[in-house]
Structure 1
Amino acid sequence: MADNRNGAPNWGLVGVGADGAEMASQVVTDATHDVFDDRIALLGRAVADVRAYAEQIGVIGTASLGEAAADTDRIVTFDLPFGMQFDLSGVVPEERQFCANTERVVESLRSVLDGADAIAYLTVPGGKASWVVPALVERIGATANGHPPDAPARGGRPQQFVVATLPSETDPIQTRFDACYTLFGLLGPDERRSAATTFLVSKPTLQEQFLLEPVDSTPGAGSTGLPHGPIATAVNQFIAAGRRSDRSPHGTFGIARDRPLGLDLTVAIEAAADATFVPVDVSTVESVSLIVGAPEERIRSDAITAVGVADAFGSWATERGISDRTRGSTLVSRPGDGQTFDVLFVPTGFDLGPVLDPLEDAYEQGKAVLERAESSRDLARAERLERRVRGDDTND
């Protein structure tokens, strides 16, 4: 990777669980600028869950909870020996034990992520390690490296983003319930949240858009059949644009890759808008932005220009009736054959119904189990988080 560009934000990257570690590995492998430096951590309930991915991106050794390996080059691997999840057999772990473990992880993460202006977490809600993400976001965002929340960047509070891949309707009830609970901990109109945006990815939607042959023969396909290539492309292009200011609670990506230079940009924008990683009704978005990646030599020769991108985006938004909700466009350089460009479409604040509805049955079943088990504290928390997301709780 090339060196970090002068003035570019310093990013931290956290892969949570085996799937998150696998995605982080691809993001680092595909990155064209070294915006992460050594601010990378892979978190799992066991070192074995993430060891292979740590080795892929330069780890020399691993460490257990709260202890960095002395011979680690770029990555520090932590062992999280707990799973903060509701066991649908009725066994619910004590919240105080969860909090104690989380604090130990947070202290270690703070040292790894020191100097980050922004942090991206990659996770699959419903996985055994994903429950830790809302707590990490809250605690790392509240006070970074001992500085107060209003301290300046590079030592103060970094902006945080979560890329969360959702399970399918055919996944087990426990997985879908855990995914909902994790999301409800991240989303909602709550100004106390530290994550600027949780970017949502639907596993079945992504699989439909990027049809997979058998996993072993598909470039960019994860071990679970999830195509990680499009996610890595989106994350890297988002980071390359330096986007850190959107305060919408949730968003997603849509991508149109390898479009031929000379193609009408509005056609490529429409293709990206039709290929969002979760179902999006564009008419419901709070805001939308655009990032176009093109070969540097073609940008220098004015084969594609920032003005041209902005004009095309404005025309497209006017046609869609959302010109008052655009938040700008950015043209960034990317490697390639010199003949193609990528379009990243970034909608935020859209209607969550089509995203959450497929998970709702499992979530309601999980709440019923908690009620039967008389887990009143956990049931109350689950319902409170749900009301926050649905916008009908004024007391939380």
Structure 2
Amino acid sequence: MTGLLKWLRWGCDGVESYSLQRKIFHVNVAALIAILSMAFFAVFNALTGNPALIRSNLLQIPFYFIVLVVPWLNRHGQAGMARWVLSLSITTAVSTNIWIANGSWLDLHFYFLLFALVGVVFFPIRQWASIVFLFVLNASLFIYCEYVGVKPDPTLFLLGENMTTMFRSAFVSTSLFTLLFITWLGEYVANRNERELEELSGMDMLTHLPNRRRMEQRLAETIAVSERTGQRGAVLFLDLDNFKPLNDEHGHAAGDLLLQEVAQRISGCIRKMDMAARFGGDEFVIMLSELGQEQEGARQRAAQVAEKIRIALAEPYLLDISSAGGDRESVKHRCSASIGVEMFVGGAMSEADILKRADAAMYQSKEHGRNKISFHEEKRHVWDNPELPTVV
């Protein structure tokens, strides 16, 4: 199954546009459906022993190889050619079968209707001339076969009424199924891409933590919940104390490694319901929710988590970085953090005000010697205090 999915995505990694990736994927899926449909009807035709249907099988053989070229073209960056090869090869294959063997008697021409409608799925809208051409071509062939008709090979009349009805039902149902499946697939892939874009837009690509935008959204949601439930929360604004010297001495690659390690340590100190985000540079924000309805108890829990984070970040960092000559070296670095805390409950303050007050508290920690924890409202500081309860 993994190999099949990889095959269906051939060519998708060669383009950045999600829209074009979706169209390439559609073309590969349509090529797979075409091959499976031809193989299914080849077995069906052979079992009947009917000369006209066996001749139809023989006419299909070249088109197996042509359709197999479609994913190969996508894989080699020829997506435009792949669309044309698929569309014209299927139209030609159906036309050949109708005019040489089946006629329009078995309703095979419903495939013309399919490819008249799904052209827009294959081609970008900017190639509207191609979409219109394929629509007019296939729609004209469908109308001609439906209202004028093409005489079948006389040996087809040897098929019984039940067998004829079965073929007609199979051709119409598979063409309609293909149309519905490709339409559904388009919606599925589009929705998945939208979710991926939404996740990426709210994520810091270096640390894989939420970014400022996502944190502000989540904080607004938490404030709304707090207003309904009375549960208190806290925002911890954190700034690293010794980050710039590492960047200056060992380069930005070392700084990036440190930020990634900081993100991991912070994530290990909070609950799943809480959120840690990178605001930019060496600034991080942690939001704690559902700390209880009682003011002092909520403040104590916030202090416990802040202390746990402060201690974790003060531990030495061992960074494996590349030197100027390309060799790897391990750098031991110490980098504590100054933390500002702002408590909140209900909608008394906006998310912007809460963040501003937590930021101000963080600067109080800086002013009092760094590696400290400051609560904005209390104007007091908490640092490595042995009287703090043990954090579970």
TM-score with structure 1 setting the length: 0.21
RCO (CA 8 Å, sep 6+): is it higher in 1 or 2? 1
TM-score with structure 2 setting the length: 0.21
Query: Higher helix share goes to which structure?
Result: 2
Query: Higher strand share goes to which structure?
Result: 1
State the structure with more CA Rg: 2
